[in-house]
Amino acid sequence: MGNTMQKSEETKVEEPGLLRQEEDSNFTCEICTEPMLAIRKFKNGSLCKHPFCLDCIAKYIEVTVEESTGCIECPGLNCKQPLDPLSCRRIISKPIFEKWCDHLCDSTVLGSESCYCPYRDCSVLVLNECMDNLKKIKCPNCKKNFCFLCKIPWHAGYRCNESRHLRDRNDILVGELIEEKRWTRCYNCGHSVERVSGCRDIKYVGFSFAINVEDHSISVLVSTSAVEMFFAIYLFL
């Protein structure tokens, strides 16, 4: 038993050395099938370890970038790992690398929700990188707040479908007060309602809704008149 454990430990110690020896040994490129010295082997960071020579990988990247592809996958058979741009930077020309980076940025923008800052003196592109249901957002460039949903300056205290009806500065001040006091506006009539404590479900002038205590958004439940009508029909039947 002691000899078995000792052999097992020796094997574990030798494994890293074997891996380093494999990486530092000569190889045959899987693209051009030519024998190559170890110093000509491409290393794709820690993503994958397929044996390709530097020249073949450089040509592969150049051709793929010209086809306007963002993420470039390893050319290994059935390998879905991407090529690491930083690992490839030293083996490709600067124009090719910059073009590749541009494609990566474009693919990121296309895969994300985005809009332009609505303020005319800014108009920078803003991305929803977290893919959350954003509404109020601060522009990273001009630091002004705007609504990510309706793409206009932030309409404090008002819903998106009401923002176009804001008439003057007084409407804006009232909306800012509603937001500051964390009041909730009735979804039916628009009047402000304050929840001090107790149940999150509120009935106001025959209309019921629930307040989310975290962000003070509301969920419409059902109007009282609709409930009364349901029971009236039920009793009639």
Helix 54-66 to helix 94-110 angle (10° resolution) is 50
Do 99 and 170 fall into the same domain? no
Residue 219 pLDDT grade (very low, low, confident, very high; cuts 50, 70, 90): very low
Q: What is the pLDDT of residue 10?
A: 41
* Same domain membership, residue 164 and residue 105: no
In a domain, 6, yes or no: no
Domain housing 91: 21-109
List pLDDT tens digits, range 13-58. 445 554 455 566 899 999 999 999 999 999 988 888 899 999 999 9
Question: Average pLDDT in the 123-128 region?
Answer: 81
Name every residue whose Cβ is closer than 8 Å to that of residue 52 and which is 6 or more positions away in sequence.
29, 30, 31, 41, 42, 60, 75, 76
Integer Cα distance of 219 and 209 in angstroms: 6
pLDDT of residue 46: 84
Residue 195 inside a domain? The answer is yes
Lowest mean pLDDT among 58-72, 75-89, 176-190: 176-190
Structure-model confidence comparison of residues 94 and 181, the more confident one: 94
Q: In whole numbers, what is the pLDDT of the chain averaged over residues?
A: 72
Residue 4 has pLDDT above 60, yes or no: no
CATH of the domain at 48: 3.30.40.10
> Above 80 in pLDDT, residue 235?
no
Closest CA to 209 of 189, 228, 229: 189
Residues 28 and 97 in one domain: yes
Summarised one tens digit per residue, pLDDT across range 133-182 is 667 888 889 998 888 888 888 877 676 766 666 556 666 676 677 666 66
Cα separation, 180 vs 200, whole angstroms: 19
